[in-house]
Structure 1
């Protein structure tokens, strides 16, 4: 009995010594690295976190909102219906990371940057 009280007393004294950093930032269930590389143009790369939305992506919340109903499969996003020129500038879109802890590694070449954005909504609009 005395041992139990001593143990509880030690724990009570040690509790304030636990660093405040023990409450770390929330883990993201989905973290993606996206890049767009036009044949005639510069490589653009960003990071998108979802659940909660964040990262360096300028449209993080909108991109996450679009990815959620399709379970992170941006290929299932509805086409925006935007009109694009018939410019030929092959553009590779790459997405790597995880969506709800499932690994994703995908790349696709589109005819130009406008078609990338029209086909993927806010996901590749960064």
Structure 2
């Protein structure tokens, strides 16, 4: 019986919080707006470092890594990537969303099936990155990833 009383008390507290939340919503939003801006500024100053790999095949687990580069964007572009400034600018424009990288205009690729997998691991503005994507060939990979995947 005692555990049931505890459960009722917890449910009652949750219900009270749910009812009170709409009443204080405006004040909460005003308080967190400044915190969100501060968090964005802090994230922009947080080191961003990634390791990019290229593997032949349809899956990163099927065959070993053919090429690997490092890319550091914050505090300044660098690493073993051949074009760190351009790659970091492209990542910044996509807000770090690797799936949203813009396709390169005027890209023409042969329809040769030689699949490759790109993996990207590390941190982007304080957020963990663990990304993998397969492409039908390296030309399509570069057309889809632009300067970031040009390694």
Native 8 Å contact 1:49 1:60 kept in 2: yes
Match of 1:110 among 135, 145, 148: 135
Deviation, 1:125, is 0.5
2:82 is equivalent to residue 58 of structure 1: yes
Match of 1:87 among 109, 112, 120: 112
2-structure distance, mates of 1:112, 1:31: 26
More helix by share: 2
2-structure distance, mates of 1:103, 1:62: 21
Structure 1: any 5+ residue segments left out of the alignment? Answer: 1-26
Structure 2: any 5+ residue segments left out of the alignment? Answer: 1-44, 58-62
What do residues 49-72 of structure 1 show as CA deviations (whole Å, max 9, x unaligned)? Answer: 002100110100000011102121
Superposed CA RMSD: 2.0
Provide the TM-score with structure 1 as the length reference.
Answer: 0.73
Q: How many residues align?
A: 100
Provide the TM-score with structure 2 as the length reference.
Answer: 0.62
What do residues 21-79 of structure 1 show as CA deviations (whole Å, max 9, x unaligned)? Answer: xxxxxx96100000111239x70100000021001101000000111021211221110
2:32 is equivalent to residue 32 of structure 1: no
More strand by share: 1
